Each structure stands twice: as structure tokens, then as C-alpha cells.
């Protein structure tokens, strides 16, 4: 299970990190502020901003290393009071799933790993009743996949693995309105622990990942919803997985990640993808190597993004100049599979994760931009 968790992949833009005291003035601009601990530890959970401004923290794991102790409960964070309260129990305990906010304000939890293995079950959280219920099923049970909301409201679910770490090339589109999934073509290469980024023109850029235990990918593919086909989209300068990605204008910046022997090869470099170029170009270098932060970048809405995870520091990315600057305060231990969620007022909630000793954390922080 530890190896499975270490290969979770995802489609969207958010982050991990933190544990320990924050050496910065609470509430000061550009700093981190410690919050009261969560009632229970959790890592590799999902975090979703709801319409009322609260954050739903669902599932994940609470036992050391996430080998066992897959969570079936959920919490709500109230930013007005800086408190966590219980938010019901999932229909199915799961870790490493993906969460999608729907137009009606409810939240879908898709796939992930359960006590019985990878799951195809999709469930829905209703914030009015604070209840979870089964919503539908994927065509294929998946963990380590990506999930990206397309322009028509359907969700592109791509890659990942099932069974004994067998990588998948297949993709499907889950329609929340019809509660069913249909095939959406296949990637040229099976991959997991990749990133999937929605482009301005509605396509989805899939980058990197692993094709097998010892083989990482340096290829990119673009999915076109109109044709339901993947096509080659260039080559990375460095094969990588467990990295992060963020769209900057019409380009995509890929950050960090690791090599096949991930505990020996973690990356601090970044590279920039531009449409039509055969190969990416070098981007800014991060202050520290970062990996297992597949949700490790969160846009702040002002042309900058917060970058944090795996290291002892946080950084702020300026998208227009591709410049990284340090954020005040030591973020403490190197937590993996933390979530970061931008709140309605622009602050960012950081919650949970596990440290290098595989201890799952209860800590939470707020970043004040």
C-alpha cells in the first residue's frame, strides 16, 4: 500500500507540505499561520472548497505509512472560526481519490484505493445533508489516475493502475448528470503518477508519469475532447513522475518530481511546455527538491501561485516572469500528500500529510497572501 500511495497521480493544480512551528508573524502578508490541529490525522485525502466557503476534507489515511487505516470519515473546515467539525462518513473508505466540485455545489469522489483494492465507485457529498451516497461507477477501477473537468462538465479520467500495479492507457469521460462513464480513447503509453492540465483551448495536457516500476516517461500527450483522441505533444527534458503542474498563460510549467529510485533522485528543476514545440525549455529552479506533491501548486488568483511540499520552505511563483521567491517562515517537516486549498478570501488552507518517517500529521496551516 505504501508503494501504491507513493504513486498517486492527479489532474489538477493543488499541493502538499508542512509540519512544525512556523517562524513567522501570524496573519502577516506572505506568511504561514499555524491552526489548531485536526481532530484526526490524515494524508492523501481530498480537499474541496464548497459554495459556502467551508472546505470538505474527505477520506485519506490515518495510520503510519498509510499501509492501513484508510479513512471513511470527512471533516469541514470553517475559515470564519478556524475550526474543524465532523462532516459524515463516506459510502466507501478511500485514499488517493480525486474530488470534483459540481455546478450544484455537491462534490464527487472518484476512484482511489480502498481496503479491497482500487475502486470504480463514484460517490457524491451533499453539503445540505452532509451525507455521502453512491453516485455511479467508472468503467475501470483506478488508482494513481488523473481527473480533469472539461468544458461540457464531463470529467476526463485517464491512466492510473489497477490490480498489481498494472498501468493503464485507457481514458473515460464520466458524466455527472447521467451518472455514467463512456470510453474516451487511449493514451499512446500507459502511465500513472502523471499530471493532467486543462489548457485554454479546452484540451488536456498529460505529462510524464511511470509506464512500469522501472520506466519513467518523458513524453507528453494532448487530449482533444472534440475528437476524443490523444496526440503526441512533445518531450520533457527529464523523465519524471510525482511532479506538479500549473498553467501559466498558454504554457504549462512542470515542477519537481522524482526518478525511478525516488528516495535517491528528487528534482528541484522545472520545465516549460509550449504548444507546437518539440521539447520543453528550462524553467526557474526551486529552492528545494520536491516530489510527491502532485497537488503541490495552488493559484492565488493574482498571477502568482504558492509552491510547497517535500521541503522546509514555501515559494511563490510569479507566472508573468517565471520567478520564484521565498515565503517567510520554515514549514517544518517534509510532509507528503498534504492538501492545499485556496479559500474564498484568498488565503490557502494546508492540511495533513505524512513525514519522512511515514507518520501521518494532524497539523494544519493558513497561508496569508
Which grid cell is 314? 514555501
User: What percentage of the chain reaches a pLDDT higher than 90?
Assistant: 76
Place of cell 451518472: 179
How many angstroms separate the first and last alpha carbons of the chain? Answer: 36
> How far apart are alpha carbons 159 and 167 in whole angstroms?
7
| Domains of the chain, residue spans | 2-361
8 A C-beta contact, residue 344 and residue 53: yes
User: Whole-angstrom Cα distance, residue 228 to residue 184?
Assistant: 5
Helices (H), 30-124: none
pLDDT digits (tens, 9 = 90+) for 36-55: 999 999 999 999 999 999 99
The tens digit of pLDDT for each residue in 5-15 reads 444 433 333 33
Distances in Å between the Cα of 162 and the Cα atoms of 116, 117, 190, 332, 338 are 11, 8, 12, 34, 23
8 Å CB contact between 205 and 252: yes
Q: E-assigned strands of 131-283?
A: 131-142, 146-149, 155-158, 161-162, 166-167, 170-175, 180-186, 195-198, 204-207, 210-212, 215-216, 219-224, 229-235, 244-248, 251-255, 270-273, 281-282
> 28 pLDDT exceeds 70?
yes
> What's the predicted TM-score (pTM) here?
0.91
Fold of 2-361: Neuraminidase (2.120.10)
CA distance 40 to 58: 12
How high is the pLDDT of residue 27? Answer: 54
Give pLDDT, residue 127: 96
Amino acid at each position: 500500500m505504501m508503494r501504491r500511495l507513493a504513486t498517486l497521480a492527479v489532474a489538477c493544480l493543488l499541493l502538499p507540505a508542512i509540519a512544525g512551528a512556523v517562524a513567522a508573524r501570524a496573519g502577516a502578508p506572505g506568511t504561514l499561520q499555524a491552526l489548531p490541529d485536526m481532530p484526526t490525522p490524515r494524508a492523501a485525502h481530498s480537499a474541496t472548497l464548497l459554495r459556502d466557503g467551508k472546505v470538505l476534507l474527505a477520506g485519506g489515511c490515518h495510520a503510519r505509512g498509510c499501509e492501513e487505516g484508510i479513512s471513511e470519515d470527512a471533516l469541514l473546515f470553517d475559515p470564519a472560526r478556524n475550526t474543524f467539525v465532523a462532516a459524515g462518513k463516506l459510502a466507501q473508505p478511500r485514499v488517493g481519490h480525486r474530488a470534483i466540485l459540481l455546478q450544484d455545489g455537491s462534490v464527487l469522489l472518484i476512484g482511489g484505493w480502498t481496503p479491497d483494492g482500487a475502486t470504480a465507485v463514484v460517490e457524491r457529498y451533499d453539503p445540505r445533508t452532509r451525507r455521502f451516497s453512491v453516485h455511479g461507477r467508472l468503467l475501470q477501477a483506478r488508482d494513481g489516475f488523473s481527473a480533469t473537468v472539461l468544458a461540457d462538465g464531463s470529467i476526463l479520467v485517464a491512466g492510473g493502475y489497477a490490480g498489481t500495479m498494472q498501468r493503464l492507457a485507457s481514458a473515460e469521460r464520466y458524466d455527472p448528470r447521467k451518472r455514467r462513464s463512456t470510453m474516451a480513447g487511449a493514451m499512446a503509453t500507459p502511465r500513472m503518477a502523471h499530471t493532467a492540465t486543462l489548457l485554454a483551448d479546452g484540451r488536456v495536457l498529460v505529462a510524464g508519469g511511470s509506464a512500469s516500476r522501472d520506466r519513467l516517461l518523458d513524453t507528453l500527450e494532448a487530449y482533444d475532447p472534440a475528437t476524443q483522441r490523444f496526440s503526441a505533444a512533445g518531450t520533457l527534458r527529464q523523465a519524471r513522475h510525482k511532479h506538479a503542474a500549473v498553467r501559466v498563460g498558454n504554457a504549462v510549467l512542470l515542477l519537481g518530481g522524482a526518478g525511478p529510485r525516488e528516495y535517491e533522485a528528487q528534482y528541484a528543476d522545472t520545465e516549460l511546455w509550449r504548444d507546437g514545440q518539440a521539447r520543453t525549455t528550462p524553467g526557474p529552479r526551486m529552492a528545494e527538491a520536491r516530489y510527491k506533491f502532485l497537488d503541490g501548486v495552488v493559484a492565488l488568483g493574482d498571477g502568482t501561485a504558492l509552491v510547497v511540499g517535500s521541503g522546509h520552505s514555501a515559494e511563490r511563483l510569479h507566472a508573468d516572469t517565471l520567478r520564484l521567491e521565498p515565503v517567510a517562515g520554515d514549514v517544518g517537516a517534509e510532509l507528503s500528500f498534504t492538501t492545499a486549498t485556496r479559500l474564498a478570501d484568498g488565503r490557502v488552507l494546508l492540511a495533513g500529510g505524512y513525514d519522512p518517517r511515514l507518520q501521518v500529521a494532524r497539523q494544519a496551516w493558513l497561508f496569508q497572501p
